[in-house]
């Protein structure tokens, strides 16, 4: 470690480290570039409160109980903010840091950053989610205007206090400029993208292959705005309106106990118990085995102002594995997937089912879509193409740290892999 290496404290609340793939990618890219990285996150089952993970110092606090409704989320975010502030004092004493890199939600992390800015620390706001729009998507039946406007104010405060803002896509950048009034030169787009080193050699899941059924795969969180209920209704149409029963649906990812009970009840009500299963959280290796076995991958996010503007990492991960995608026609879905996706009218669940049936009947089209998607990831969307933008943010915020951006970008070994595999996208 160079003596003048910048010291970074990263804050992430809505997933544990290293399970959060974006934060893990950012932390490891900065570490390779010579920065000293500490991360504060909630703990997952079996994780220690403090450990070293691939050179990243990780501090964890006990994860809060599953949130239900507005009061549940208020408690979760208040508890997490206090816990992260207390751990930040520990990190400050043990490791020290020059920059706080905070990923929302919650926007209340801005108060931690504001405290440390009093002592000359820099603040990078990593704008993961449009929290006001996400709140409306989750609580559309009981909208509280005061909560929405408070979230807008916190978003503005975060953007304006930050020395630099990281946006995940162009839609977020425009929102930061228009709603928060941030100058364009203070915003850098660092897109979500898969690390191709994780997708280089993946074997299928033998039990899934043995079924000889069309495998429909989903990966990701399963919260109120993620459209899993919509996917189940689409699969109900596929079975009972279109007569397609030769498939197996594998839904991979985190889901709270209350949400899982609701989804299992809906699955039973829709007559899908023999067609769909939820795996819960699985290891990265198992996730890739399941997805490699999929014939078609899906993103059922319904249209709303949050989903329409957000880049879903699952789309690019499907593409990295060469999988065709069925999704609703959202602007960022279409920008990412292009010809790798079959897009249907927003929130039309019968149309979603018909698109699945069309791809089930056309393996040639599935292969062509998968080849296009893999090539697009290799050429433009892989995480390695986002690393230089991330490093440029740090050279702007910490200009006194003398490091060579060309050298540090080359130290990320993924571009070598990409170049070597351009001719074989499968």
CA 21 – CA 314 distance, rounded (Å): 11
Structural domain that includes position 252: 199-379
Tens digit of each residue's pLDDT (9 = 90 or more) over 280-328: 888 888 888 888 899 999 999 999 999 999 999 999 999 999 999 999 9
* Residues forming a β-bridge with 276: 249
Residue 300 lies in a domain: yes
Q: Are residues 23 and 72 in the same domain?
A: yes
Q: Are 242 and 219 in contact (CB under 8 A)?
A: no
Q: Are residues 270 and 314 in the same domain?
A: yes
Predicted confidence at residue 419, as pLDDT, reads 34
Q: Are residues 355 and 397 in the same domain?
A: no
What residues contact 374, with CB distance under 8 A and at least 6 apart? 319, 320, 321, 322, 425, 426
Q: Are residues 280 and 387 in the same domain?
A: no
Predicted confidence at residue 143, as pLDDT, reads 57
CA 306 – CA 148 distance, rounded (Å): 13
Residue 84 lies in a domain: yes
Those residues of the chain that have pLDDT short of 50 are 1-3, 404-410, 413-426
Predicted confidence at residue 405, as pLDDT, reads 47
Side-chain-side CA neighbours of residue 157 (13 Å): 16
Predicted confidence at residue 203, as pLDDT, reads 67
Q: Are residues 233 and 158 in the same domain?
A: no
Predicted confidence at residue 372, as pLDDT, reads 98
Residue 395 lies in a domain: yes
Predicted confidence at residue 69, as pLDDT, reads 65
Q: Are 340 and 354 in contact (CB under 8 A)?
A: no
Q: Are residues 170 and 306 in the same domain?
A: no
CA 368 – CA 266 distance, rounded (Å): 34
Q: Of 417, 409, 377, which is closest to residue 391 (Cα–Cα)? A: 409
Q: Are residues 263 and 356 in the same domain?
A: yes
Residue 2 lies in a domain: no
Q: Are residues 154 and 186 in the same domain?
A: yes
Q: Are residues 214 and 327 in the same domain?
A: yes
CATH number for the domain that contains residue 203: 3.40.50.2000
Q: Are 296 and 324 in contact (CB under 8 A)?
A: yes
Structural domain count of the chain:
2
Burial 234-254 (b: 16+ CB within 10 A, else e): bbbbbbeeeebeebbbbbbbe
Predicted confidence at residue 144, as pLDDT, reads 64
């Amino acid at each position: 470690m160079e003596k003048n290496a910048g010291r970074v404290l990263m804050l992430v609340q809505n997933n544990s480290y290293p399970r959060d793939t974006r934060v893990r990618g950012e932390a490891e890219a900065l570490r390779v570039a010579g920065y000293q990285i500490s991360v504060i996150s909630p703990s997952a089952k079996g994780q220690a409160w403090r450990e070293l993970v691939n050179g990243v110092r990780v501090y964890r606090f006990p994860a809060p109980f599953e949130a239900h409704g507005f009061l549940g989320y208020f408690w979760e975010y208040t508890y997490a903010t206090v816990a992260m502030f207390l751990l930040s004092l520990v990190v400050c004493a043990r490791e020290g840091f020059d920059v706080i890199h905070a990923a929302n939600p919650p926007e209340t992390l801005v108060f931690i950053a504001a405290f440390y800015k009093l002592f000359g620390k820099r603040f990078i706001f990593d704008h993961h989610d449009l929290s006001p729009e996400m709140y409306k998507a989750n609580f559309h039946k009981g909208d509280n205007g005061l909560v929405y406007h408070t979230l807008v104010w916190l978003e503005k405060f975060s953007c304006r206090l930050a020395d630099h803002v990281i946006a995940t896509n162009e839609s977020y950048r425009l929102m930061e400029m228009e709603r928060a009034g941030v100058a364009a030169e203070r915003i850098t787009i660092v897109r979500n993208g898969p690390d191709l080193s994780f997708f280089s050699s993946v074997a299928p899941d033998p039990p899934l292959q043995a079924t000889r059924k069309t495998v429909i795969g989903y990966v990701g969180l399963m919260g109120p705005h993620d459209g899993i209920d919509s996917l189940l209704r689409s699969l109900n149409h596929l079975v009972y309106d279109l007569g397609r029963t030769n498939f197996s649906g594998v839904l991979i990812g985190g889901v709270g106990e209350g949400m899982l009970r609701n989804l299992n009840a809906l699955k039973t009500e829709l007559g899908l118990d023999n067609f769909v299963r939820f795996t819960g959280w699985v290891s990265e290796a198992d996730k890739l085995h399941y997805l490699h076995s999929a014939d078609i991958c899906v993103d059922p996010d319904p249209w709303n102002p949050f989903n329409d503007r957000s880049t879903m990492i699952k789309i690019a991960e499907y593409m990295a594995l060469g999988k065709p995608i069925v999704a609703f026609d959202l602007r960022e879905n279409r920008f990412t997937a292009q010809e790798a996706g079959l897009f249907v009218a927003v929130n039309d669940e019968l149309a979603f089912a018909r698109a699945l049936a069309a791809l089930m009947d056309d393996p040639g089209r599935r292969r062509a879509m998968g080849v296009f998607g893999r090539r697009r990831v290799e050429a433009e969307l892989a995480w390695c193409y986002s690393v230089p933008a991330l490093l440029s943010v740090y050279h702007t915020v910490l200009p006194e740290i003398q490091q060579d951006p060309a050298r540090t970008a080359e130290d990320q070994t993924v571009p070598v892999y990409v170049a070597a595999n351009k001719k074989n996208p499968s």
